[in-house]
A and B are shown apart, each in its own frame.
Chain A
Amino acid sequence: MTDKKTITIALAGNPNSGKTTIFNNITGSRQKIGNWPGVTVEKKEGLISKFGYDLKIVDLPGTYSLTPYSIEEIVARNFVLEESPDVVIDIIDSSNLERSLYLATQLREIDGKVLFVLNMADVARSHGTKIDAEKLSSLLDVPVIFTVGNKNEGMDDLLKEAIKLAESSPVKKEKRNVKYSKDIESAIVRIGDLIEDKVKDNIHYNFRWTAIKLLEDDKIVKERFALKAGNAGSDIIDEVQSLRKNLLNLYDEDTEIIMTDDRYGFISGIIKEVQTISPKRRVDISRNIDLVLTNKFIGFPIFIFFIWAMFQLTFTVGAYPMDLIDNGVNLLSSGFERFLPESIFKDLLVNGIIAGVGSVIIFLPNILILFFCIALFEDTGYMARAAFLMDKIMHLIGLHGKSFIPMLMGFGCNVPAIMAARTLESEKDRILTILITPFMSCSAKLPVYIVLAGTFFAAKAGNVIFSLYLLGIILSIISGRLFRLTLLKGADAPFVMELPPYRVPMLKSLTIHMWDRSKMFLKKMGKIILVGSIIVWFLSSFPRNINYSEDYTSILNNINESFKEKFISADENEKILLNEQKLAAIAGIENKMNSEKIEKSFMGKIGKGLSPVFKPLGIDWRGSVSLLTGVFAKEIVVSTLGVLYSTEKSNDKAALANALRSSGMTPLSALSMMVFVLLYLPCLATITTIKKETGSFKWTFFSITYSTVIAWMMSFCLYQGGKLLGFA
């Protein structure tokens, strides 16, 4: 038990103001990452004990303003309003004082306890910008302190000051706020008075602030106000409307625009008093770097190189630790296989839980490396440049330049790819990207193509596989445009984006980024995958008592017996030969048995039940069972095909190819099946990620249905069309 007092401190600030660095410095690894309720904006909290207090630090999303135009802004504002943190710390990039003060003045208007932090003043000073902190403090009546986030300077001062402020008596009413133009000011006073007179008891926020927001026609405040203030409230809203109308006539401009102008006017007054810019022409390293990295001719080649390097690191270098994990999982499962007594529990543990969770944990190296690269891109400032370069192309699909990275990563694995969509600021962009990324053919589908295309298209296999990738890309473009016109209607988010100066990334922040996201992946995915793999295991291994068409056990015994006899009279060479024959015979029988076991399991029954659906696509029941097992992980399609089709050694690719050919599968039906594999519902791990990242069952379900329906339609057209044209 602790009797220490808890103080809640919110960190606000512009994007790129160094807010996250300060948050990381203060909280270190004691961070909790989650989502803000109901939205997919990342929420970061840290709890620390310092100077005799428990400090709960909440990192608000980086915003330029507190208007309700983006989720980030709404989230940040709601937190300040509803949760009433004891102190709000506004982190100001000293090189960008003017713009930073825009958010700062809005925070002041809300009327909480605000503390200004001038961050990175050393950089500003080296560029010739000096800020008079004392004057700023007295002009706005706010404590102001200096920090240098990336050198970890001033953190203790910051916390001490925040505690002092939290413990101080409630804020004085008299303080300098933005003064708006005369007519607007009188409208604010009028509405403010009305609120105080009529609905005082229902409104908890500062009256002046509420009046300002109503005059700005702030939808959220208006709705809440109407809800809480009842009849008297709607009179006030009517009054606001008529005042707005008058002001519109007067200024020939929307009131909120005039108010923005006024705020910047107020700010520029302050700037004149507190900031001195010496005429020394700054040598801007950042601009010079940009001359190269966004250069007309070499900008793209460099970009492609970076992306290539990221891809290679993630999937090629990542393959080594993946192998290690895979071996570890195999070792574990074969260990249990050997030492546990035969039981249903053992089967569940080995073939359900270990196999299922193992199939997810194997992505961990990929995810760690990918997020390290992404954090590197973000922290250095290159991500904004990547968006700058790619936006023209991505805009064609109705997407933001930043969507490029998740979509590209989709060719590797959809799980990290969909997680990479987090870098998109607008929720609509994010959902759109998540919906179309699964059409990027992931690397797990490649083995399926290799088997099928290799068997039926021989020399042309390469072209066929390439066409499949292309088909995926084209469908993602079409779907993107379609969604933009229908479900996720509305212009894409404004591209207006800051290109922050390049910065040297801090290892600490990179590793925190990387580790936090990976941890989240493991924790949340682990649970769902666990349940999912138990279900899949259940479906594929029940019912237990299968009536086999033949008595395999006695057949196996017979084989053993007959070979035993032969062995007695054989010499050394013959024995080797006999041993091979014996193993082949056993494998053949076991495979037959497994094949029948799958066929008669629930999974097999469902697959068979579904086969009428797949018939028009030229896929037989074995194909449909394989596709069903492929939901677990796409590469499993190949191994199931192996078990179901071949009657000999299932691991032998040539045998599988022969079996496929003799089973009546044609090049056309093989193509149809490949198209289906390309497009149909993503694997369990991806579905889980979609649920996690969209935070909505609706979108998850939509994604599953949409991709499967598209897959069916495409395969249907291909197969039936092909048949009509005489290919078979």
Chain B
Amino acid sequence: MLLSEMKEGEKGIIVRIAGSGALRRRILEMGMVKGSQIYIEKYAPLKDPLELIVKNYHISLRVEEASQITVEKSE
């Protein structure tokens, strides 16, 4: 499923990062690489952007950007 479809409090593992250029590069460099565990901390009050925890720190990205990332939900 897509990262943008996940709900608050759900966990997952990154399977694939699509998209191109600066955005993809940025995502990778921030440590969101294939196999990284992620935790959806929350969505902003207006439902966009969202906040997630990767490698023990907090990152926010837009829903639009999160839809480039495929994840596998885990428990």
Contacts and interface: CB of A to CB of B under 8 A. Distances in A.
Interface stretch (A156-164, A190-198, A293-301, A580-588): A293-301
A102 to B, nearest CB: 6
A482 interface: no
Interface string B35-60: 00000011011111101000111111
B22 to A, nearest CB: 5
B45 A299 contact: yes
A466 interface: no
Contact of B22 (A99, A102, A295, A494): A494
Contact of B33 (A261, A391, A495, A498): A261
Interface in A233-288: 256-257, 260-261, 264, 287
Interface in A316-371: none
Given A294-B45, A388-B49, A388-B51, A256 B57 contact: no
A69 B25 CA distance: 8
B50 to A, nearest CB: 9
B1 interface: no
The SS class assigned to the B binding surface is mixed
B25 A495 contact: no
Contacts of B60: 384, 387-388, 391, 495-499
Contact of A102 (B24, B31, B41, B49): B31
A102 B45 CA distance: 32
Interface string A423-466: 00000000000000000000000000000000000000000000
B65 interface: yes
Contacts of A287: 41
A62 B61 CA distance: 19
Interface centre among B34, B49, B61 (most CB of A within 10 A): B49
A496 B65 contact: yes
B15 interface: no
A15 to B, nearest CB: 11
A387 B27 CA distance: 18
Contact of B23 (A95, A294, A496): A496
Contacts of B62: 391, 395, 495
Interface string A396-433: 00000000000000000000000000000000000000
B68 to A, nearest CB: 10
B59 A69 contact: no
B45 A296 contact: yes
A392 interface: yes
A96 B49 contact: no
A64 interface: yes
A99 B42 contact: no
A67 interface: yes
A393 B45 CA distance: 11
Given A96-B57, A495-B60, A65 B49 contact: no
Given A264-B31, A299-B45, A496 B26 contact: yes
A99 B61 CA distance: 17
B58 to A, nearest CB: 4
B75 interface: no
A499 B23 contact: no
Contact of B57 (A69, A99, A264, A295): A99
A497 B23 CA distance: 11
Given A96-B57, A99-B57, A496-B27, A260 B33 contact: yes
A274 B31 CA distance: 18
Given A388-B51, A389-B44, A392-B48, 13 more contacts: A69-B26, A98-B56, A99-B55, A294-B45, A300-B45, A384-B60, A391-B49, A491-B23, A494-B26, A496-B27, A497-B60, A498-B59, A499-B51
19 contacts: A65-B25, A65-B29, A257-B28, A260-B33, A294-B42, A295-B45, A300-B45, A384-B60, A387-B60, A389-B44, A391-B44, A392-B48, A393-B46, A496-B26, A496-B60, A497-B59, A497-B60, A498-B30, A500-B58
